[in-house]
Structure 1
Amino acid sequence: MFGIFKKKSEKEKLQAAYSKKLEEAFKMSNVNRALSDKLSAEADELAKQIEKLP
C-alpha cells in the first residue's frame, strides 16, 4: 500500500532507461540502422553504469 510513495533508487532508474533504450533500438533497427546502433551504444553505456553501482 505504501509502495506508491517509495522513490526509485539510482539503479532502478538506470535499469528502466536501459530497457527503454534497447526497446527503441529494436524498433529503429528496421527503419534506421545508424540510429539503432547509436541507441544500442547508449544502452551499453547505461549497462556499464549499472555494473559500477553497488
Structure 2
Amino acid sequence: MFGLFKSDPLKALKKQYSQKLEEAMHAQRNGDIRGYAKLTEESETLYKEIQKLEAETK
C-alpha cells in the first residue's frame, strides 16, 4: 500500500535520459558540437545506469 507513493528511480532516470538527448539535439542543431558531444556522453552514462537497473529488476 505504501509502495504507491514511492518514486520509481528507473522512471526518473528515463526522464533525465530523454531530456539529455533533447538538449543534445538542440546543441547539434545550433552548431555547438562540443556541447553535443558532452551531452551525448552524459546521456550514454544515464543509459548504462538504466540498463543496470532493468537487469537487476528482472
What TM-score results when the alignment is normalised by the length of structure 2? 0.78
Residue number in structure 2 paired with 1:11? 10
Instruction: Among all aligned residue pairs of Structure 1 and Structure 2, give the percentage whose two residues are the same amino acid.
Output: 34
Residue 28 (structure 1) aligns with = 27
Gapped regions of structure 2 (runs ≥ 5): none
Aligned pairs, how many? 50
Query: CA RMSD of the aligned region, Å?
Result: 1.4
> For residue 50 of structure 2, what is the aligned residue in structure 1?
50
Could you state the TM-score of these two structures normalised by the residue count of structure 1?
Answer: 0.83
